[in-house]
């Protein structure tokens, strides 16, 4: 079983390394096990607290963008609002409607929340440079240093959809069911693009291990510069996978009341809510890890172990802010547009990108990386230009007051 | 420890599989089948085939069963309707299929054994299990390339068949 973890890595600060490290023969000792448990507890709590703070941030930022004030009564700047919300969730009556499938209805929020929390296990949240075989390499700190980290994330993230689908089905109400059906169709569609957007990263870094992907980027260049298209598609597919606007079809309020969680109340609803925000945190952390160099920032991470964690946290927080930013900026897609974008645009683009990247690596032709992104930008500019031109041609000045009088 | 885990995961896979075929409710069956896939993934992990385990969950539990659920929910199948459609010949057909499967796979395994693909006891003691993506990729695209390509042709045929069946008219 221990083959899962590499023998030398320590996911704690170096000062604790001698307590929480493995024995010389690589076996796990008591201190190491305790250290791991503490680390897991710490990270789960950080995710939970971040989720709560994200709810506060969402309300404050949306208020700011809509020129309102937002919640500002509980604590300084309303920071304790999540605690008040939690109290409300806890003391609300936990209604289980008579028409639901009780077992599925009860476990659906759990199926939704657990994958969201355990995905973070393989994400490197910090690290340091160490001498390995006489060469300085970036060694990441993770809970579990899986060699198949990327596949683990895709596999576990794919399980989360069961919570939403079953929640919708078990509720036995038409709006919930529609939300659940939409969720499963949407997640399947965008998981393909999401996975195929990661393939070039794996090809270039030559590893499925997230720590090694970060090490590759520390040694060479951030993958966002060599794989801009894959990064963009991963980001957008991430929005679809986390059911965030502009892709929140499973719960679109104007059509489905609240979608799959219409019938849920109290902490069951809170768990769905928490899962969404934990998923956002993981998606942001993944964009940072896969494309933006993880915990590295042009050598600044060498200042100390706290600096690496801080860099990673700041990058992740930026993308979490972007989630909120996009939600309150871009309106919701129509369902057919969402499907067309996934299958008709993203899937072919990611496939061509995979082939081009593999060709570029095999033939050692760096310019091939930029062929497709350049074509995409050109196509986008062309479409924008044609749209503007058509609008100009079709533009007719509004009749003036005098003209209206004349024509009437 | 490994044996205990193997029995736990294998047992849960078998139990889930049994529950999947005996449930009346199609959604419950589907969920038990997902449980079966997890048990199987656990068995793969015990055998140090981490790549296969992850792909098992990713492809079967994460994608194929979600599609199954999608179709079941979309058609809103109820157990009553399923009973009406189930013909009395179904159990007989099922037994025939099971016997055919055992015979064919048994013959394939025996052929493989005669061809010397399986290691004998002495070889097994020195065998290094390598379930890493590199090892699987090298084997898949080297030694088993023909089988791999034949399988992909089979899948392609399946896709084409599905397209032709669902398209009302081909223009």
Confidence label for A27 from pLDDT (cuts 50, 70 and 90): low
* pLDDT of amino acid A51: 86
- Chain A interface includes B31 (CB < 8 A): yes
Domain boundaries, chain B: 1-77
Are the Cβ atoms of B50 and A162 closer than 8 angstroms? no
- Chain B interface includes A162 (CB < 8 A): yes
Confidence label for A334 from pLDDT (cuts 50, 70 and 90): confident
Are the Cβ atoms of A148 and B133 closer than 8 angstroms? yes
* Segment A373-383 mean pLDDT: 83
* Least Cα separation, residue A91 to chain B (angstroms): 32
Of A27-31, A174-178, B88-92, the least confident:
A27-31
Percent of chain B with pLDDT over 70: 83
**A to B CB pairs, distance under 8 Å:** 79
Residues 6+ apart with CB under 8 A from A183: A161, A164, A165, A168, A243, A249, A250, A259, A260
Q: Measured between CB atoms, which of A181, A188, A191 is closest to B73? A: A181
Query: Within 13 Å, how many C-alpha atoms sit on residue A137's CB side?
Result: 14
The residues in B 104-143 lying below 8 A from A, measured between CB atoms, are: 132-133
Are the Cβ atoms of A154 and B58 closer than 8 angstroms? yes
Confidence label for A3 from pLDDT (cuts 50, 70 and 90): very low
The residues in A 277-316 lying below 8 A from B, measured between CB atoms, are: none
Distance CA A308, CA A314 (A): 10
Using alpha carbons, select from A304, A264, A222 the residue that is nearest to residue A106: A264
The residues in A 205-234 lying below 8 A from B, measured between CB atoms, are: 208
Percent of chain B with pLDDT over 90: 26
Q: Can you say whether residue A6 is alpha, beta or left, with left for phi > 0 and alpha for psi between -120 and 50 degrees?
A: beta
- Chain A interface includes B64 (CB < 8 A): no
Q: Supply the ipTM of this predicted assembly.
A: 0.76
Are the Cβ atoms of B2 and A1 closer than 8 angstroms? yes
Are the Cβ atoms of A184 and B63 closer than 8 angstroms? no
Q: How many residues can be counted in chain A? A: 408
Task: Give per-residue pLDDT as tens, A212-237.
Answer: 888 888 888 888 888 888 888 999 99
CB atoms within 10 A of CB A63: 16
Best of A100, A155, A190 to disrupt the B interface (most B CBs within 10 Å) is A155
Are the Cβ atoms of B73 and A185 closer than 8 angstroms? no
Distance CA A353, CA A372 (A): 7
Q: Is residue B163 predicted with pLDDT exceeding 50?
A: yes
Q: Measured between CB atoms, which of B46, B55, B70 is closest to A151? A: B55
Distance CA A39, CA A143 (A): 7
Place of tokens 């050598």: A299
Contacts of A185 in chain B (CB under 8 A): 70
Of A133-142, A193-202, B28-37, B75-84, the least confident:
B75-84
* Least Cα separation, residue A161 to chain B (angstroms): 8
Q: A231 and A287 in contact (C-beta within 8 Å)?
A: yes
* Least Cα separation, residue A57 to chain B (angstroms): 31
* Least Cα separation, residue A154 to chain B (angstroms): 6
- Class for domain B1-77, per CATH? mainly alpha
Query: Within 13 Å, how many C-alpha atoms sit on residue B124's CB side?
Result: 6
Q: Measured between CB atoms, which of A3, A155, A188 is closest to B67? A: A188
Using alpha carbons, select from A56, A49, A83 the residue that is nearest to residue A71: A56
Distance CA A75, CA A317 (A): 22
Contacts of B51 in chain A (CB under 8 A): 148, 151
* pLDDT of amino acid A234: 92
* pLDDT of amino acid A66: 87
Best of B9, B25, B54 to disrupt the A interface (most A CBs within 10 Å) is B54
Best of B45, B66, B74 to disrupt the A interface (most A CBs within 10 Å) is B66
CB atoms within 10 A of CB A134: 5
Contacts of A169 in chain B (CB under 8 A): 27, 69, 73
Task: Give per-residue pLDDT as tens, B102-121.
Answer: 999 999 888 888 877 676 76
Phi, psi values for residue A323, rounded to 5°: -55, -45
Contacts of B133 in chain A (CB under 8 A): 147-148, 208
The residues in B 66-85 lying below 8 A from A, measured between CB atoms, are: 66-67, 69-70, 73-74
Residues 6+ apart with CB under 8 A from A296: A138, A214, A217, A218, A308, A311
Confidence label for A182 from pLDDT (cuts 50, 70 and 90): confident
Task: Give per-residue pLDDT as tens, B47-88.
Answer: 888 888 888 888 888 888 888 888 887 776 665 555 556 677
* pLDDT of amino acid A404: 52
């Amino acid at each position: 079983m221990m083959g899962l973890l590499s023998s030398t890595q320590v996911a704690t600060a170096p000062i604790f390394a001698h307590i929480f490290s493995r024995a010389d023969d690589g076996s796990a000792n008591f201190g190491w096990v305790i250290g791991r448990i503490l680390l897991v507890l710490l990270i789960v709590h950080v995710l939970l607290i971040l989720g709560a703070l994200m709810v506060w941030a969402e309300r404050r930022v949306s208020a700011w963008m809509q020129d309102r004030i937002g919640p500002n009564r509980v604590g300084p700047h309303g920071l304790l609002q999540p605690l008040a919300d939690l109290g409300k969730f806890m003391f609300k009556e936990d209604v289980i409607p008579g028409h639901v499938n009780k077992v599925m209805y009860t476990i659906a929020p759990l199926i939704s929340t657990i994958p969201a929390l355990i995905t973070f296990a393989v994400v490197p949240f910090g690290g340091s440079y160490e001498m390995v075989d006489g060469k300085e390499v970036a060694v990441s700190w993770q809970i579990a240093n899986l060699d198949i980290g990327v596949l683990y994330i895709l596999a576990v993230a794919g399980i989360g959809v069961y919570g939403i689908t079953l929640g919708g089905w078990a509720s036995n109400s038409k709006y919930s069911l529609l939300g659940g059906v939409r969720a499963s169709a949407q997640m399947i569609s965008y998981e393909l693009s999401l996975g195929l957007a990661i393939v070039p990263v794996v090809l270039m870094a030559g590893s499925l291990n997230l720590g090694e992907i970060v090490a590759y980027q520390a040694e060479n260049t951030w993958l966002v510069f060599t794989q801009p298209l894959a990064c963009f598609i991963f980001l957008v597919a991430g929005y679809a996978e986390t059911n965030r606007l502009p892709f929140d079809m499973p719960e679109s309020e104007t059509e489905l009341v609240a979608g799959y969680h219409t019938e849920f109340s109290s902490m069951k609803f809170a768990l769905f809510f928490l899962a969404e925000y934990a998923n956002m945190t993981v998606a942001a952390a993944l964009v940072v890890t896969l494309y933006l160099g993880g915990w590295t920032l042009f050598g600044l991470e060498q200042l100390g172990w706290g600096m690496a964690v801080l860099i990673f946290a700041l990058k992740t927080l930026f993308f979490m802010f972007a989630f909120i930013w996009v939600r309150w900026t871009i309106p919701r897609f129509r369902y057919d547009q969402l499907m067309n974008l996934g299958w008709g645009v993203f899937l072919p683009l990611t496939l061509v990108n995979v082939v081009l990247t593999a060709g570029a690596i095999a033939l050692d032709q760096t310019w091939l990386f930029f062929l497709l992104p350049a074509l995409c930008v050109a196509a986008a500019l062309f479409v924008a230009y044609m749209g503007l031109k058509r609008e100009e041609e079709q533009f007719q000045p509004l009749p003036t007051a005098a003209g209206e009088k004349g024509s009437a | 420890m490994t044996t205990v885990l193997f029995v736990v995961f294998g047992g849960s896979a078998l139990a889930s599989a049994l529950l999947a075929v005996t449930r009346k409710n199609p959604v419950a069956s589907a969920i038990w089948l997902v449980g079966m896939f997890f048990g199987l993934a656990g068995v793969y992990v015990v055998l140090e085939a981490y790549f296969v385990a992850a792909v098992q969950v990713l492809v079967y539990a994460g994608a194929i069963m979600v599609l199954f659920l999608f179709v079941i929910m979309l058609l809103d199948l109820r157990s009553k309707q399923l009973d009406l459609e189930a013909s009395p010949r179904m159990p007989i057909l099922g037994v025939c299929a099971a016997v055919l499967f055992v015979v064919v796979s048994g013959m394939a395994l025996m052929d493989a054994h005669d061809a010397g693909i399986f290691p004998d006891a002495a070889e097994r003691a020195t065998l290094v299990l390598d379930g890493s993506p590199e090892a699987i990729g090298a084997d898949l695209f080297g030694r088993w390339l023909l089988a791999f390509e034949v399988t992909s042709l089979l899948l392609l045929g399946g896709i084409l068949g599905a397209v032709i069946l669902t398209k009302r008219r081909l223009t």
